Structure 1
């Protein structure tokens, strides 16, 4: 089978998600091509063992014909059996005004009409576009039950929708991780990890107030950088800001934490949650997102029922080291039973076969 993956951004969770799929599909004997924005590829090439095509992604509606022409040329060169579009704008490029390929699989990676930092009229427009374009994909692959239910509520035909929870490779299957920061190792007391962009979606605005409400022996370790044009993270004695870390070192940093907080306001499905479960680290998530599907409260993590820094601090201040160890063991078991990459990859392969047979 020849598979073409099309992405816009090539960083963070989407890059990790597609990277793993591409490598697995090549190992299975498929021919794989990746098309991504040329500027993104130059910043993070990753050494993928597949054919890589660059195209000029743009969110300017006036540039849509130019982007579609570039993608049409890539399609003509490679004649793929399946085209897998990742995230909102590749989904638009391929399907508006008409489908560029008869067998498109579309993964939104978080519905654009759920993004709470967009005005209501913009979210309405995204929803209208998704509903209009849905029939131009053979399958729409949702990453959570929340994504699936929101799509059905929007009016997207159920027969177009498939729900496949993401999976990641086990630590033993990955390249050896770099040692964690020595500053982390020297920290005494509860080590709390936050991994991700310092923006509104990820709940980074809660961090300064959270740090101020934590017990004296707790330290908040922040791994990530602020979004361009936003205010940097405010310094605080209980915050250690480590900045951006390479993907290869993430597993070691996550494993060095006692608990991981993911206070996102919305998510498609965060890989950080699965990386934490894999490392045997309990997670604390908001009930606003699909990540609450991953957590059994008190078993492998905790769920924030009130979205505030004070409530999150209260949950953390009540945690003992033994609580973290117990929930961490359970977190590891949940990962092994539900979120392995082999299970995920088999389900994606089954979806491709179903699309080919239609």
Structure 2
């Protein structure tokens, strides 16, 4: 039986799994459940000799396998570069590199000057594209961006990320005595997540009257510039906006389930796993057209899409919030459609697409 390896980086510095590691572990679990001979390899290494030696030993061992399928889900460029180059040592191996992010995402979204680290990743990324034989992108939008801006000779495909599907349609949230609507946003709260725009949206909506909206923000970190602006917006929200620190996936899912809308108006997102997770919980999403997951949305049918670059972004989002307030039974149909869309993205289906591409 052919051996399958899934490479990812599970950093001990982070309390919870980041996107690429979460995808890799889900694929690993699905492959094991289907009876495949599969190993999950943590490529996270430190300057400690023991970690490096263990890593080098695995790579040497892999060289001596006659035939193996290797799915590379490691971020950065050092580990992917190393394993993509393995195809020249062992041509019989099928090595599939998945691009979960782009080296200059922040520069693309914010028009800022790239850091030295970002420039180094850019060089590494170009080398990976030159060496890799098969590449998976997590959205068609990401694939088209790469094809337009980088020379690439590998076989390519787009495979949307999956979700651990909830087989029973969730019950809708029961609103409290205040009858306020509740929105949630989460993720690595850097500038590209549009944290400030989301908080401004809720404050503007509540100032304009109508039904009140609460906003709960969950995320591991906010930079200094963002924190000062966000604190001002929270102070001016009359308790309607609350920031929380990092929480587990399980707790986050409970919070999303107890909301009316998940907001993800990112300036740039190659996919955004939290959106498909919210849809699986029967919660409609307000999503940026820049996010890869927007390819699964049909505006006003199973969610809502806005143009993040629009000069009237706040007005557009406010209009959507106001429409949700008056949807009634139509809102329930959107919930149902969002849930059914997520069901089609179960990990079993996604894993089959990976295996089909690997054998092509």
TM value normalised by structure 1: 0.77
* Paired residues of 1:6 and 1:83 also in contact (CA < 8 A): yes
Shift of 1:287: 2.0
Q: Aligned partners of 1:210 and 1:121: how far apart in 2?
A: 31
Equivalent of 1:231 in 216, 227, 233: 227
For 1:224-263, what aligned pairs fall within 5 Å after superposition?
A: 224-227=219-222, 231=227, 233-234=230-231, 235=234, 236=237, 237-263=239-265
* 1:99 equivalent in alignment to 2:85: yes
Q: Cα 1:32–1:96, aligned 2, differ >3 Å: closer, same or farther?
A: closer
* 1:119 equivalent in alignment to 2:116: no
Query: More displaced, 200-209 or 257-266?
Result: 200-209
Q: Aligned partners of 2:123 and 2:182: how far apart in 1?
A: 44
**Residue matched to 2:142:** 147
What are the Cα deviations for residues 296-341 of structure 1, in whole angstroms up to 9, with x where unaligned? 11111111122644442332133225243232122122223x4222
**Residue matched to 1:138:** 133
| Alignment RMSD | 3.5
Q: Aligned partners of 1:98 and 1:28: how far apart in 2?
A: 26
* Paired residues of 1:85 and 1:104 also in contact (CA < 8 A): yes
* 1:26 equivalent in alignment to 2:32: yes
* Paired residues of 1:68 and 1:94 also in contact (CA < 8 A): no
* Paired residues of 2:45 and 2:52 also in contact (CA < 8 A): no
* Paired residues of 1:152 and 1:158 also in contact (CA < 8 A): no
* Paired residues of 2:262 and 2:286 also in contact (CA < 8 A): yes
* Paired residues of 1:224 and 1:242 also in contact (CA < 8 A): yes
For 1:29-178, what aligned pairs fall within 5 Å after superposition?
A: 29-36=35-42, 55-56=44-45, 71-77=55-61, 79=65, 81-89=68-76, 91-95=77-81, 99-101=85-87, 102=90, 103-116=94-107, 119-120=113-114, 126-157=121-152, 159-172=154-167
Shift of 1:68: 8.0
Q: Aligned partners of 1:299 and 1:260: how far apart in 2?
A: 15
**Residue matched to 1:345:** 351
* 1:315 equivalent in alignment to 2:320: yes
**Residue matched to 1:201:** 192
Equivalent of 2:275 in 273, 276, 280: 273
Q: Aligned partners of 2:351 and 2:3: how far apart in 1?
A: 16
Q: Cα 1:245–1:67, aligned 2, differ >3 Å: closer, same or farther?
A: closer
Q: Cα 1:97–1:36, aligned 2, differ >3 Å: closer, same or farther?
A: closer
What are the Cα deviations for residues 241-295 of structure 1, in whole angstroms up to 9, with x where unaligned? 3432211233332222111110111112111111122122211111233233122
What are the Cα deviations for residues 51-85 of structure 1, in whole angstroms up to 9, with x where unaligned? xxxx4258xxxx9xx99876332222454812222
Q: Aligned partners of 2:250 and 2:217: how far apart in 1?
A: 17
Shift of 1:204: 1.1
Unaligned runs of 5+ in 2: 12-16
* Paired residues of 1:6 and 1:86 also in contact (CA < 8 A): yes
* Paired residues of 1:88 and 1:111 also in contact (CA < 8 A): no
Shift of 1:106: 0.9
Unaligned runs of 5+ in 1: 38-54
Q: Secondary structure at the match of 2:192?
A: coil
* Paired residues of 1:278 and 1:331 also in contact (CA < 8 A): yes
Equivalent of 1:17 in 13, 16, 23: 23
